[in-house]
Structure 1
């Protein structure tokens, strides 16, 4: 059986792994993200040599940015040198192998459809909660990128515009991990550097009222965003990713807020079906391989 060498390009580290065509990671590792494009190409070729006994047929890449079919990666990220050149062509020319490239959130969504919480689903939304709010849309089993490659950029949605432009807040402003940290730090008059999402949730469980209120409002605003996504896209399932998706009470907390919202809106006859993402650290690698197999017509 032939295998695929996958790379997940992050701002700090590059994760890599050899993945079989049925989605099993055979071996994996990581290296520090280099500062120059030539060094990135060297890492890819070096790992290709290291895993030559694994019958590598192609290379799958997961990365930040808006990825066009042509192989260009638009936007900006913590890896600035990938935005500009045709990365697909560069890597193909350097390795002599077929290459696929896809946005990291889209790869995470594909992993869930292939092997995770969304197996058997055709239309899903994945909402990733982190420093901001990102995500992806899967329509008829494939990534829906949109006309401007911005499909699934949920963080830009406006959730609070009481003053017609003054004090306007986006989904990322009110329902990200950093939004909770900002609020708690402001109320406690301490540096944000002293807080993490884990610390705030832990303090809330110990009875800290400031943390409890911040988390309650976070869940409510998150539920509003998910409600909006449901009525715009009407997916079968909405998955929540990011570090917070590991919390056992996540789904029940969101469902409680969704019930509060739908009870207030008479015409709201539908509430989203919510679940947590199955994958965490390996999602982008597995999804990148799924994307490679779709691009090379090995699966539908």
Structure 2
């Protein structure tokens, strides 16, 4: 079975062809079009190109937004506004004359980790995507838990303290923004983390505060959803110091709740750039088996 796989992003559309062996091949990317008409045209052109190289039997798509797989509609909002709030799966199915599935991008990344990444040995996983904000996914018994209003995994909305959110306080991107405004600098998140490692006190505090928010959030999720483990993705997950530093922050949290017997297990995501493509394939396969 060969699948055309597509990852819809605000800047680029990624394409590839999936076969069990060798996996995802013939990868390419193009700039995300500005209109729905050009979007359709681009997808059809790229899928036709893949059909010249393989016998395509379906199209698996990763997308931003809250995806209602039953209705085939992408709710919510994203940097690609024209894909929302209409039966897009039905429209693409008609255009491709092939089965089409669409799943949220964070959910796809989580499915990739469960299928062939850092969480292959467990069934219940919380996946945290740390970018500009905090997103993620909940996987229960190997399947995405979407929730009644498709809000499963939207951890960034959670309040931290009286009047701020986990998304605002729990990412290195926003930590760098706060540091820059306070100190008249222009550091990105990576540079702030590196500065903190040199022992600069204000940078250390900025990173420590961010890690404390993440550790507290992970602790709270452990004692509400009780997963086997947590998997961290997003740009900061490529920082080799993150796991040790986050575990130190968890030490502080665990010490505050002495009656808590279970310490959260945290892992780093295996997949990076290809996570959404692989996860789109897993979702397609699950949807086909359930029909």
TM-score by length of 2: 0.96
SS where residue 4 of structure 2 aligns?
strand
Residue 116 of structure 2 corresponds to which residue in structure 1?
115
Matches within 5 A, 1:1-300: 2-21=1-20, 24-52=23-51, 53-69=53-69, 70-161=71-162, 168-190=163-185, 194-297=186-289
The alpha carbon displacement at 1:201 in A equals 1.5
Distance in 1 of aligned mates of 2:10 and 2:47: 21
SS where residue 289 of structure 2 aligns?
coil
- For the Cα contact (< 8 Å) 2:16–2:27, is it kept in 1? yes
SS where residue 51 of structure 1 aligns?
helix
Distance in 2 of aligned mates of 1:48 and 1:152: 30
Residue 164 of structure 1 corresponds to which residue in structure 2?
none
Q: Tell me how large the CA RMSD over aligned residues is.
A: 1.5
Report which stretch shifted further, 74-83 or 36-45.
36-45
- For the Cα contact (< 8 Å) 2:172–2:207, is it kept in 1? no
The alpha carbon displacement at 1:41 in A equals 1.2
Aligned length: 289
Distance in 1 of aligned mates of 2:230 and 2:37: 39
Unaligned 5+ residue runs, structure 1? 162-167
Instruction: Provide Cα deviations, 1:8-57, integer angstroms capped at 9, x if missing partner.
Output: 10001011111114671122010000011111111111112111131111
Report which stretch shifted further, 52-61 or 101-110.
52-61
Instruction: Provide Cα deviations, 1:264-289, integer angstroms capped at 9, x if missing partner.
Output: 21221111000011111100000001
Report which stretch shifted further, 21-30 or 67-76.
21-30
SS where residue 296 of structure 1 aligns?
helix
SS where residue 289 of structure 1 aligns?
helix
